[in-house]
Amino acid sequence: MAFRNLLIGDRGAIRTLTINRPDKLNALDRETINELSVAFEQARHEDHVRVVVLAGAGEKAFVAGADIAELEAFSPVEAQRFSRAGQRMMRGIELLGKPVIARIQGFALGGGLELAMCCHLRIGSDKARLGLPEITLGLLPGFGGTQRLLRLAGRAATLEMCLLGKPVDAQRALQLGLLGKVVEGERLDQEIDAIADQLAASAPHALAGILDAVLIGGECGAEEGMDYESKAFALCCTTADMREGTRAFLERRKPQFTGK
């Protein structure tokens, strides 16, 4: 599939997906949501891809939200279809089984923050501003924002951000868990490259097990989560990568994981 709104680039085992609508501050319309769904599904099935970096074109915004011009014309039925399509796309990212890093260099508002929250790691510039301002449009978040923000930041912060609609700066976002790390803007790509390189060199089965165990544990009881963790641990013990990792530790050398 040829993409109109996405740029795709590979650096070794690291794939970068860039939403390329800088004139619209990378706003999410139906076409872009569909393209993201397809692009992440492709990354899921390409074994050489071990890590995905999700970015927005330009320096002003990661994603500034949904495309309001398109949204304004929706009927209630169309609006629900749009909401569900966005939710499915973002759930697919969450369940990818490969680490996804959000590169947040400017605004991540509305659908943009919802998109960032479904990524596994979020690295932001010190100029980043994050928020869910849908209340100012007479709306509420529709791509899972109320639910993911609740799990990341807690009830009080979620109600404050959703009811008042005011964005927070990078340091406040760091305190709330919306960003995992904040760096100066000129160091953003360097920091993300270093993290992506570390992840790409890790054992893929172990990465997938960690992603699934944490996600499942956050959505079920502790006993069910620990049961899944023990099964994933045992499954890793059947892999060649586990043998390589333990041998490398005993031999005091760096492991070379192959994904087998």
- Same domain, yes or no: 166 and 243: no
- Same domain, yes or no: 129 and 146: yes
- Same domain, yes or no: 188 and 234: no
**Residues known to be catalytic:** 114, 134
Res 128: pLDDT: 97
Res 230: pLDDT: 93
> For the chain, how many structural domains are there in total?
2
- The CATH number of the domain holding residue 239 is 1.10.12
- Same domain, yes or no: 196 and 180: yes
Q: pLDDT by residue (tens digit) across 34-53?
A: 999 999 999 999 999 999 99
- Same domain, yes or no: 19 and 107: yes
Is 76:25 a contact under the CB 8 Å cutoff?
no
Q: Is 243 within the bounds of a domain?
A: yes
CB neighbour list of residue 51: distance below 8 Å, 6 or more residues apart: 13, 14, 15, 98, 99, 100, 101, 196, 199, 200
Res 217: pLDDT: 87
Q: Is 210 within the bounds of a domain?
A: yes
Res 219: pLDDT: 86
Q: Is 256 within the bounds of a domain?
A: no
- Same domain, yes or no: 184 and 153: yes
Q: Is 158 within the bounds of a domain?
A: yes
- Same domain, yes or no: 97 and 123: yes
Is 117:178 a contact under the CB 8 Å cutoff?
yes
**Interior angle at CA 118, CA 116 and CA 120, nearest 5:** 90
- Same domain, yes or no: 135 and 238: no
- Same domain, yes or no: 135 and 227: no
Structure token digits, residue 199: 């992840």
- The CATH number of the domain holding residue 93 is 3.90.226.10
Res 169: pLDDT: 97
Q: Is 146 within the bounds of a domain?
A: yes
Q: Is 255 within the bounds of a domain?
A: no
User: What residues form DSSP beta bridges with 18?
Assistant: 7, 55
Res 157: pLDDT: 97
- Same domain, yes or no: 159 and 231: no
Enumerate residue ranges in the chain where pLDDT < 70.
1
Res 47: pLDDT: 94
- Same domain, yes or no: 162 and 187: yes
Res 122: pLDDT: 98
Q: Is 45 within the bounds of a domain?
A: yes
- Same domain, yes or no: 146 and 225: no
pTM score: 0.95
Task: Please identify, among 160, 182, 200, the residue that sits at the C-terminal boundary of a domain.
Answer: 200
Give dist(CA 104, CA 122) in Å, integer.
7
Is 164:119 a contact under the CB 8 Å cutoff?
no
Q: Is 135 within the bounds of a domain?
A: yes
The position carrying tokens 């590169």 is 103
Q: Which domain holds residue 242?
A: 204-250
